[in-house]
Amino acid sequence: MSYQIQLDNFAGPLDLLLFFIRRDEIDIMDIPIATVTEEYLTYLEMLQTLNVSLAGDFMVMAATLMRIKVKMLLPSLSEEDDEEFEDPRTALVHQLLEYQRYKKAAGNLSAMNDLESRRFHPSVIRNVSDTEEDPGFYLEDVTLFELVTLFKKVLKQIPPAVHYDVEREEIQVKERVAMILSKFVEKSQIMFSELFSNFSSRQDIIVTFVAILELIRDGQVRVTQKKLFEDILLERVEA
């Protein structure tokens, strides 16, 4: 099977690195580069498995992390080299700190804009039909990386296949989208893990996950997470 999905509203590689630092409570001034590099490459591999379109800067960051890792593994040749040694992580740390400052400033501006938008301005008339809606609105406080984290946990629960069928049953994403939407008939909210409870194959799980991403992109489903690392709640967005 081949699926292709594009989610343009997610941030770049620095945002992914900050996610790791926040999740694992890492000191940004002393990043365990080997661990972070392994995590980063694992995420890229998972996204490529889903055929999520990756920008070039993600691949550049992967190469940068690997180069830093190699430099840190190389032994110094003499005591003089130790004195003149510059930590290979320094440039990356400066990038992360600068990005963190800009991200915080952007968040403050966004909050100010939300506050201003709630005020009534009779002199300003907006044509709602002409405005382009941001798909990221339906993600609220959940990122793609947190969705992939839960997706990885679901995949790990599936036992490895001991045999393979010669004929493979094709599962359409649109059919799985319809199945998910049908679950909202009786209730307006569904837990992320609940959608995978009846599936035993990786094919079923991957198609279901891609269907969820499609629904988020199309603004039919909104996802929220009450606490970090907890299950994600999917809510139907009424037209």
pTM exceeding 0.75: no
Q: Measured in Å, how far apart are the chain's first and last C-alpha atoms?
A: 31
- Residue 3 is predicted with a pLDDT of 42
- Residue pair 76/84 in contact (Cβ under 8 Å)? The answer is no
- Residue 133 is predicted with a pLDDT of 57
The span from the CA of 66 to the CA of 92, in Å, is 12
- Residue 15 is predicted with a pLDDT of 83
Superfamily designation of domain 133-239: Structural maintenance of chromosome 1. Chain E (1.10.10.580)
List average pLDDT for each run of 10 residues in the chain, which is 239 residues long.
43 81 86 89 78 73 88 67 71 88 81 70 50 58 71 75 58 86 88 83 86 89 82 84
Q: Where are the domains of the chain?
A: 1-125, 133-239
The span from the CA of 2 to the CA of 51, in Å, is 8
